[in-house]
Amino acid sequence: MTSPALFTPFSLGQLQLKNRIIVPPMCQYSAIDGHMQPWHLMHLGSLAVSGSALVFIEATAVEPAGRISPADVGLWDDATQDAIARTLRDIRSFSDTPFAIQLAHAGRKASCAQPWFGGGQLPLDQGGWDTFGPSPVPFAPQDRPPQALDAEGLERIIAAFVQAARRSVDLGIDAIELHGAHGYLLHEFLSPLSNQRTDEYGGSLENRMRFPLAVFKAVQAEVAGKVPVGMRISASDWVEGGWDVEQSIRFTQELASLGAAFIHVSSGGLSQAQQITNEPGYQLPFAQAIKNAVDIPVIGVGLITDPQFAESVVASGQADLVGVARGMLYDARWPWHAAAELGTSIDASPQFWRSQPSRLKTLFTKNMS
């Protein structure tokens, strides 16, 4: 019997994946001074035994000022690296699931409270800090304007991404994703709504792409041949006159020419004026448009929670892989249930074999290698 498309192998560069289900990065806002905590071991550990082919570590700040909140994970010194190393060491003692990391800088959307505390920008006297962006244009009218990055600041950010990429390789991370989506720093340079510069980094599309591409090139040069490097983008700001899918295609073509191993297609997050209708697969037309224009793997996301729908995404060629994010928080065994519904088998740790329902006697692949 032919395997469902969702459960066929796939390659991201030299990284071999068992199926097409990936867990996108999801911020947990549970770190202390950038250091992973026991929560991250529990959270990532549960995803590592879910049957997913690849798990992304949440947005990981490349410098303290690049954190979304004071409780974000970071990778900017030996101590933050050691905290991630301890978490991965324990997980790898029981799981061979590959891990990717999303390296990020929040730009003007940094210095915010955790979502369950409202998510607004923190005052300087309540644990907040000054933010950075392409231009002194705040995300919300009540926010402090970010400091426009000068030449020295741009070089600092590039160096921070490079050193975080180097540390990622030292950690044995299997893939690196640069966060160019959701209104954070790299996206802020791309969008004309947030980038109002008049130098070589603003104005034309070529200029607005210049800094994100410089970050990608520097990271790629640092880790070339060691791990695949890709980028997550917001394909549209969902605001007239903002970043859109046509510009995203141009940007992705540039990334592909530089050797990007994948593109992870999301949308929105840059402007409070965005008009989005959330429904299953609402971002997939962006993924398909980009997939039709470039010859690199595309990850599609957007309220994908139904196994049959996920199967149709891969089978029809809308995307090469599907990201199941919030659905995995709700159901950390989503890939098991998808395999059962689609009539195929899936790897499972031997500790779970007894949970296999009697009506699904061939669900688990009992592989002890």
- 66-89: pLDDT as tens digits: 999 999 999 999 999 999 999 999
Confidence of residue 127 (pLDDT cuts 50, 70, 90): very high
Give the DSSP letter string of 50-113: S--SEEEEEEEESSGGG-SSTT--B-SSHHHHHHHHHHHHHHHTT----EEEEEE--GGG-SB-
In which band, very low, low, confident or very high, does the pLDDT at 365 lie, cut at 50, 70 and 90? Answer: confident
Joined together, the tokens standing for residue 25 give: 């990065």
Q: What is the pLDDT of residues 237-246, one digit of tens each?
A: 999 999 999 9
pLDDT, mean over the chain? 96
Residue 254's pLDDT is 98
Active site residue 184: yes
User: Could you tell me the pLDDT band of residue 1, with boundaries at 50, 70 and 90?
Assistant: low
Cβ proximity of 229 and 223 under 8 Å? yes
Is the pLDDT score of 362 beyond 90?
Answer: no
Which single residue is written with the structure tokens 């000022």?
A: 65
pTM: 0.96
Distance between CA atoms of residues 164 and 218, nearest Å = 11
Whether residue 18 is predicted with pLDDT greater than 60 in this model: the reply is yes
- Nearest by Cα to 187 from 122, 225, 231, 154: 231
DSSP 3-state percent helix, strand, coil across the chain (nearest 5): 40, 15, 45
What pLDDT is stored for residue 205 in this prediction?
98
Q: Which of 184, 201, 282, 330 is catalytic?
A: 184
pLDDT tens for 142-169 read 999 999 999 999 999 999 999 999 999 9
Other CB atoms within 10 A of residue 275 CB: 10
Specify whether the CB–CB gap between 233 and 248 falls below 8 A: yes
Give the helix/strand (H/E) hosting 176: strand 175-180
Decide if 231 contacts 264 (C-beta within 8 A).
yes
When pLDDT is cut at 50, 70 and 90, the band that residue 39 belongs to is very high
Exposure of 186 in the CB half-sphere (CA atoms within 13 A): 28
Residue 355 has pLDDT above 70, yes or no: yes
Q: Determine how many CB atoms are found less than 10 A away from the CB of residue 7.
A: 22
pLDDT of residue 317: 95
pLDDT digits (tens, 9 = 90+) for 171-225: 999 999 999 999 999 999 999 999 999 999 999 999 999 999 999 999 999 998 8
Report, as an integer, the average pLDDT of 26-34: 98
Contact indicator for 179, 266 with CB cutoff of 8 Å? no
**316 contacts: CB under 8 Å, gap ≥ 6:** none
In single-letter form, the type of residue at position 73 comes to V
Cα-flanking dihedrals φ and ψ of residue 336, to 5°? -60, -50
What is the CATH number assigned to the segment(s) 5-365? 3.20.20.70
pLDDT at 224: 86
Give the residue extent of every domain in the chain.
5-365
**230 in Cβ contact with 216 (< 8 Å):** no
How large is the average pLDDT for residues 307-320? 96
**In the structure, what pLDDT confidence band is assigned to residue 339 with cuts at 50, 70 and 90?**
very high
pLDDT band at 367 (very low <50, low <70, confident <90, very high): low
CA 220 – CA 361 distance, rounded (Å): 45
Q: Looking at residues 223-237, what average pLDDT do you find? A: 96
Q: Are 62 and 75 in contact (CB under 8 A)?
A: yes
